[in-house]
Amino acid sequence: MSRSRFLSITSSVALGVVACCGNGKPKPDAPCGPNGAPAVGLVASSTNPDLTLTYGNLTAGANNDCPDPTAPAGVVSLTISGQQTDGGGLVTMCIGRPDLLPQGLTLGFASTDAGVQLIDFDGSTSNGCTFSLLSTPPTGTVSAGGECDNGSAASGFALTVSGTVTLMETCGPSSGQLTAALAGTVAVTASN
């Protein structure tokens, strides 16, 4: 092979690797995007009482809703919103440092210094019961795979959540508190 063909091939490969992710961090083994993560799959579940609330169709916007004053220049906070697919609920999270999301951040409330703030979380079931987030802080971790441009790349990314939430269950006149696991890997698309 001639030297010029070799240089041409290696230059093309290098450009392809760098072009993978616009955040300056080439990821040849993890290209930008959700990489097969399903559109639906974030699940809140409990065995006592038996409960499954499923969320998906998540979108992310670099809206700067929860800016982190320690973030480097150019890092804009990311808001992720989605809907319950088996009921009428919503989920909203805000991430002040989306540049740190690939390595994993803690899940918490807006009033804490959590890496991922769970702003809204509610749901409903077909039997008329409703579920709303209580003031007990959620716990766990949230991470991203295939995230580029700090989560604002048009390709989107995969979001993985592993934690717990405390919910108020209301079924007609009765209500009670329950702790549910919140877990799953789901695709996130860019909204802007």
CA distance 144 to 146: 7
pTM comes to: 0.83
Distances (CA, A) of 158 to 20, 23, 95, 168, 181: 15, 16, 15, 29, 19
Residue 49 confidence (pLDDT): 79
pLDDT at 192: 65
Dihedral angle, C-alpha 94, 96, 101, 103, nearest 10 °: -140
What is the model's pLDDT at position 23? Answer: 45
pLDDT at 153 over 60: yes
Residue 5 has pLDDT above 70, yes or no: no
What is the C-alpha separation between 142 and 183, in angstroms, rounded? Answer: 9
Segment 80-103, tens digit of pLDDT:
999 999 999 999 999 999 999 999
pLDDT for 111 beyond 70: no
Helices (H), the chain: 3-19
Mean pLDDT value across the chain: 86
pLDDT grade for 19, boundaries at 50, 70 and 90: very low
Side-chain-side CA neighbours of residue 78 (13 Å):
30
Q: Rounded to a whole number, what is the largest CA-CA distance in the chain?
A: 81
Query: How many CB atoms are located within 10 Å of the residue 38 CB?
Result: 13
